[in-house]
Structure 1
Amino acid sequence: MSARELITEHLDLWTGAVTKKSSGGRGSNGKVELTGIKKLRELILGMAVQGKLTTREASDEPASELLQRISARQTELYTQGKIKKRKKLLSVSVEERYFHLPENWEWTRLGALFDSIISGGTPSKQNPRFWDGDIPWASVKDLGKTKHLDETQDYITEEGLKVGSKLADTGDVLICTRMGLGKVAICSKPIAINQDLKAVKVSPEVSLDYFFLAYTTLDITGTGTTVAGITQDKLISYVIGLPPIEEQHRIVQKVDELMALCDRLEQQTSNQLEAHETLVDTLLGTLTQSENATELANNWARLAAHFDTLFTTEQSIDKLKQAILQLAVMGRLVEQDAEDEPVGNLRQRIAMTKTQLIETGALRKQRPSPALEQAKVPFTAPGTWEWVTFGEITFNRDAERIPLSMDDRRKRSGEFDYYGASGVIDSIDDYLFDCPLLLIGEDGANLINRATPIAFIARGKYWVNNHAHVIDGISEDFLRYLCLYINAISLEPYVTGTAQPKMNQAKMNSIPVPLPPENEQVRIVQKVDELMALCDQLKERLNQASETRNQLAEAVVEGALN
């Protein structure tokens, strides 16, 4: 099967195989990796260096003659004193030949193609005379972004070059031999290098572009305990199949053509994902912005009619979950019941319980809750609900904690959970709390970006560290409703500080909360649990389908290269 047939016959597979990146946040197109197209690029490169993209031409000079010409030229350069004596390389063994070699190709070690190789260095960071000059100085962090390198993050002076580095020439290939193994770049101008790089002059008899793409397909494996690296001897011993020079040029041309096709597929797929995300945002937004029950019903019917095409990614399901939370705490998810106990009675009961707990010493006296600012009320709640402040209706248990150091936790390692702002972080042999409590993160960056859970219920026997607020209430159902609300809203207005942004207790207590009757809180929580379970089932099916697509893409690549 030709390369173009492999691409076109599996087009849905290449464009449909995606993987969610592990970075935090709510999820967006930028958080998705186009795994299928990445595999397609690997396939193209793998087929290229095995001669499966191009045909043989009878007029091509055999690679064996090319290698002889390279060797003769290097011998002449050595005789003229222009290069150092070449190290004798071992013949390529049968075990090292990892594919069927096309006609007129030859196995060779990388070192046979190198006219010279140099190592770099780092001028002393303590001497300002060596730095911020006009000579680009490359390190691992500068490689892997572009094929041709002409700009670097750091620059050195002539003095710094003389005492602590080496200069690679235009056209030299820079190869990482430590940390960034596999990274490679071609110098677009003279560039100094550090000790983690080698500057290689590839014989002009070889296509520099072909050498670049062939090197990127090698499996570079390092050794070392702290940082993996390869020696110079290891570098020059790697094996590649060398085509005739004419075929090298044809391969490079074909790869450029197919990579351009991948670029177009990648852009089209990214545009489709972005458009899909915009459509999901827009239609979910109509739900939370509905003015009344009729409008909400109409908007939901419109969304439900296209459910199968809208919620086809993990990110879109996460957004559906968030919309469900928002509808729940706005009173749009379940019906109100006029027979429910008035919220005023619940508020009185909360106030009496708080007073009793303080009088008996079960709860420390808290600062008066701030008055509700009507201007901060974000929406109109149902008529049977009341707006209150978070501090008015909760019991803060922060003062009861004794945060444990890592050393303390290691000494007391055991079976009980030790919670942080994002969940269990350790296990110890003792516990402080033995009841369901609401934990709310303090870290401002997390509260804004939502990289980890914001609020969750902790149950059983456990400790809590000093990165989460510990909140109690009159019942677990009540806490579960508050948990839904905190996770449904933006907490950015309540975050203070710049160096270490956080949500302090005063700001948390000022959050306006729409309080439903107690029975309705239970109905809301039950409905949310039911809908979240359905979302999780849908996400699981999507993940299984995604995993299958990724495995198929991997199988196609392996099948084509073996």
Structure 2
Amino acid sequence: MTNVNTLITDHLDIWTTATEAKPSSGRGNSKKTGLYGIQKLRSLILELAVRGKLVPQYQNEGDGSGAVAKLARKREELVKQKLAKTAKKLDELHEGDFPFPIPHGWSWARLQDVSEYIQRGKGPKYADSGAVRVISQKCVQWNGFDLDKARFIREDSIEGYGQERFLRDGDVLWNSTGTGTVGRVVTLPLETDDRLVADSHVTVIRMLSDCPRFLEIYLSSSGIQNRIEPTHEDALVSGTTKQVELNVSTVLALPVPFPPMAEQHRIVAKVEELMTLCDALEAQTEDSLKAHQTLVETCLATLTNSQSPEELTENWNRIETNFDTLFTTEESVECLRDAVLSLAIRGLLTKRYSPDEPASVLLEQLFQSNMQTANSRHRTIMSKIREVEPPFPIPPSWAWSNLGSLSFDLRYGTSKKCGRDDSQTPVLRIPNVSGGQVTLEDMKFGPLEEKELSDLALRQNDLLIIRSNGSLEIVGRFAWVPELDREYAFAGYLVRVRIDPAFVDPRYIWYVSQSRFVRDQIELPIRHGVGLKNVNSTELASIAFPIPPREEQKEVIYQIDSLFEYCDKLLKKIVDKNESIATLADTLTGKVH
């Protein structure tokens, strides 16, 4: 164990820096960073605490078995006074019931034997106000107890609650239902005049001892939390991954390690001290990451605000000198991608072309061609949109247009109900395009008639846009359609845009659609909506795009491809490094088990 301790402490500055990417929604980066290494440090502290390896043992503090026996006598007295229920008959604990070794002087006991009261709360009758608040699973969070989320119960239902159901200072509250919420635990700090009861999704544990926080530490430790999973070989919960239950009978019978009372208090004090240090380390790390990200964004803003290729070169040289310091996180690489797109749409990624004809001539030819091909619906859409007002300078040979003018067909997909009958027409849905690329996994099929299939059949270079979704980050996302092996249609929450590639390369439009400039045009008008976020065909047709001459479009695509490929390699290097550090954290902290 000494060697393990040395490894852990000697490499603390390395493995506690491990991070993990977590999904998030909304404007900006699609991911945020989780401090995995510090989470593992917290877990390690709890595990050491409940195994007797965090503080020394002292013989003069007595032993756990004596403390358990004393609490058993206290419980018997409460039962005689009818202040506690008679304990259920449970099998005696044997060595095979113990999940790990404990120090000499500690004892194992079933939770029932060291508790005065263990019971689920009641299903409440809610009211908008009242004298009694009901504690739900939302109140029991890993970062503490949140009374603000508690609702009230009706006055006429209060008499249905026995005195034992009203919560007391030191009650341990353990969430007992629901994936994602079950297992969260907190010791109640009753610092309010409100009378509180628990609802039926929370188990209340009222300890006989004066140190309930030790039980909270044990229930929070990985040895218990890993078992709050129905697939675990020794699961504490029942049900499926969609709806799990922590039954009262399981809580009653749970074996818990029991140190002498004085040692329990010392353990709690040491855990609180170390968790405070973790809080400080976490805050310091978060501040460092935020400062680093601000530095990256500031430097890249200078780059994207360049007014000429010469100024761009000068600003890039400044970044290149500090490249290895700046681009060390997944977020910084995503910012670099955004900067690439921002430079691309301003004409700063390509040399100054002297085309045979400027983009304005190209777009006029395209518009005339589209008007001959477009159907009446598309013409109606075009009549509703205004001419683009240039939002920023572009090269003289470029021109502004909008998606409606660039396309000759902008159409919603089928509303037919789709299923798994693969003898019907395959239909692309939001899951098939939400990543910006078309994927043919998890296909569904629909009963499309010949006319509908003719109207909705996809071709190579079509663009599909998600027009409706609950996530603002997903709505309005474009996907480019490659060559397909058969006829595919698309579903009603998607919009197909068809552009003549002889004039404008759809891959250029697809790339530009990922830029912050286009995302703002889509997101800002619908940001404050509740529920489903929607963008309609007229709004899509109005999106402004800066268009280079045809040959320069190829060069822009080539430059973006090349720079994104470099970003992919850089990102892989960062991810691999983070995974290695996370593996080190897992390995070192796992050795104490």
Q: Normalized against structure 1, the TM-score is what?
A: 0.89
SS at match of 1:192: strand
- Between 1:69-78 and 1:417-426, the stretch displaced more is 417-426
- Between 1:30-39 and 1:500-509, the stretch displaced more is 500-509
Match of 1:118 in 2: 119
Structure-2 separation of matches of 1:356 and 1:28: 41
Match of 1:196 in 2: 201
| 2:477 is the counterpart of 1:454 | yes
Shift of 1:87: 2.5
Match of 1:484 in 2: 511
Structure-2 separation of matches of 1:154 and 1:371: 49
Structure-2 separation of matches of 1:343 and 1:250: 76
Structure-2 separation of matches of 1:3 and 1:242: 25
1:26-425 mapped onto 2 (5 Å cutoff): 31-124=32-125, 132-147=129-144, 150-163=147-160, 166-179=165-178, 180-189=181-190, 190-204=195-209, 206-217=210-221, 218=224, 219-220=227-228, 221-225=236-240, 227-358=243-374, 365=379, 367-368=381-382, 373=387, 376-398=389-411, 401-405=413-417, 408-412=418-422, 416=426, 418-420=428-430, 422=434
Q: 1:414 to 1:544 in 2, by over 3 A?
A: farther
- Between 1:153-162 and 1:302-311, the stretch displaced more is 153-162
Q: Given residue 455 of structure 1, which amino acid in structure 2 is its aligned partner?
A: F
Q: 1:29 to 1:309 in 2, by over 3 A?
A: farther
> 1:96-140 CA deviation, whole Å, 9 max, x = no partner?
222222111111111111122233212345xxxx55212110122
Is the contact between residue 410 and residue 537 of structure 2 (CA under 8 Å) also seen in structure 1? no
Q: 1:426 aligns with which of 432, 438, 443?
A: 443
Shift of 1:82: 2.7
> 1:320-340 CA deviation, whole Å, 9 max, x = no partner?
111101111110001122144
Q: 1:441 aligns with which of 460, 466, 474?
A: 466
> 1:366-419 CA deviation, whole Å, 9 max, x = no partner?
544567656x312111111122333222222316x43332xx333457784514
Structure-1 separation of matches of 2:270 and 2:111: 23
Match of 1:552 in 2: 584
Shift of 1:284: 0.7
> 1:344-385 CA deviation, whole Å, 9 max, x = no partner?
442243134324435xx79965544567656x3121111111
SS at match of 2:540: helix
Match of 1:22 in 2: 23
Is the contact between residue 370 and residue 391 of structure 1 (CA under 8 Å) also seen in structure 2? no
Structure-2 separation of matches of 1:164 and 1:84: 16
Shift of 1:4: 8.4
Shift of 1:501: 4.5
SS at match of 2:306: coil
Structure-2 separation of matches of 1:532 and 1:143: 44
1:476-555 mapped onto 2 (5 Å cutoff): 478-488=505-515, 489-493=517-521, 496=525, 498=529, 501-555=533-587
Q: 1:146 to 1:435 in 2, by over 3 A?
A: closer
Structure-2 separation of matches of 1:247 and 1:100: 17
Structure-2 separation of matches of 1:106 and 1:244: 9
Is the contact between residue 19 and residue 37 of structure 2 (CA under 8 Å) also seen in structure 1? yes
Shift of 1:177: 2.8
Unaligned runs of 5+ in 2: 229-235
Q: Given residue 296 of structure 1, which amino acid in structure 2 is its aligned partner?
A: L
Q: 1:119 to 1:486 in 2, by over 3 A?
A: closer
Is the contact between residue 426 and residue 488 of structure 2 (CA under 8 Å) also seen in structure 1? yes
Please provide the CA RMSD for this pair. 2.9
> 1:155-194 CA deviation, whole Å, 9 max, x = no partner?
1244222236832233322223322332222333342111
Is the contact between residue 136 and residue 151 of structure 1 (CA under 8 Å) also seen in structure 2? no
Shift of 1:50: 0.4
SS at match of 1:100: coil
Structure-1 separation of matches of 2:367 and 2:117: 82
SS at match of 1:522: helix
Is the contact between residue 139 and residue 193 of structure 1 (CA under 8 Å) also seen in structure 2? yes
Match of 1:468 in 2: 494
Q: Given residue 238 of structure 2, which amino acid in structure 1 is its aligned partner?
A: T
Is the contact between residue 149 and residue 185 of structure 1 (CA under 8 Å) also seen in structure 2? no
Q: 1:56 to 1:170 in 2, by over 3 A?
A: closer
SS at match of 1:410: coil
Q: Normalized against structure 2, the TM-score is what?
A: 0.85
Structure-2 separation of matches of 1:391 and 1:149: 50
> 1:254-295 CA deviation, whole Å, 9 max, x = no partner?
111111111111001100110011011101111111122221
Is the contact between residue 329 and residue 484 of structure 1 (CA under 8 Å) also seen in structure 2? no
Structure-2 separation of matches of 1:8 and 1:510: 59
Q: 1:386 to 1:29 in 2, by over 3 A?
A: closer
Structure-2 separation of matches of 1:231 and 1:393: 61
> 1:481-516 CA deviation, whole Å, 9 max, x = no partner?
112222212444456564554332223333332221
Q: Given residue 403 of structure 1, which amino acid in structure 2 is its aligned partner?
A: S
Q: 1:364 to 1:298 in 2, by over 3 A?
A: closer
Shift of 1:53: 0.8
Is the contact between residue 15 and residue 269 of structure 1 (CA under 8 Å) also seen in structure 2? no
Q: Given residue 192 of structure 1, which amino acid in structure 2 is its aligned partner?
A: V
Match of 2:231 in 1: none
- Between 1:255-264 and 1:220-229, the stretch displaced more is 220-229
Q: 1:427 to 1:13 in 2, by over 3 A?
A: farther
> 1:416-472 CA deviation, whole Å, 9 max, x = no partner?
4514362557343776223320123324875xx434772121122422222233111
Structure-2 separation of matches of 1:413 and 1:135: 60
Q: Given residue 201 of structure 2, which amino acid in structure 1 is its aligned partner?
A: D
Shift of 1:313: 1.2
Q: 1:335 to 1:198 in 2, by over 3 A?
A: same
Q: 1:62 to 1:27 in 2, by over 3 A?
A: farther
Shift of 1:150: 5.0
Q: 1:384 to 1:224 in 2, by over 3 A?
A: same
Q: 1:463 to 1:198 in 2, by over 3 A?
A: same
SS at match of 1:168: coil
Is the contact between residue 336 and residue 520 of structure 1 (CA under 8 Å) also seen in structure 2? no
Structure-2 separation of matches of 1:71 and 1:259: 32
Match of 2:232 in 1: none
Structure-1 separation of matches of 2:401 and 2:248: 70
Identity %: 28
Q: How many residues of Structure 1 are paired with residues of Structure 2 in the alignment?
A: 548
SS at match of 2:488: strand
Structure-2 separation of matches of 1:387 and 1:172: 66
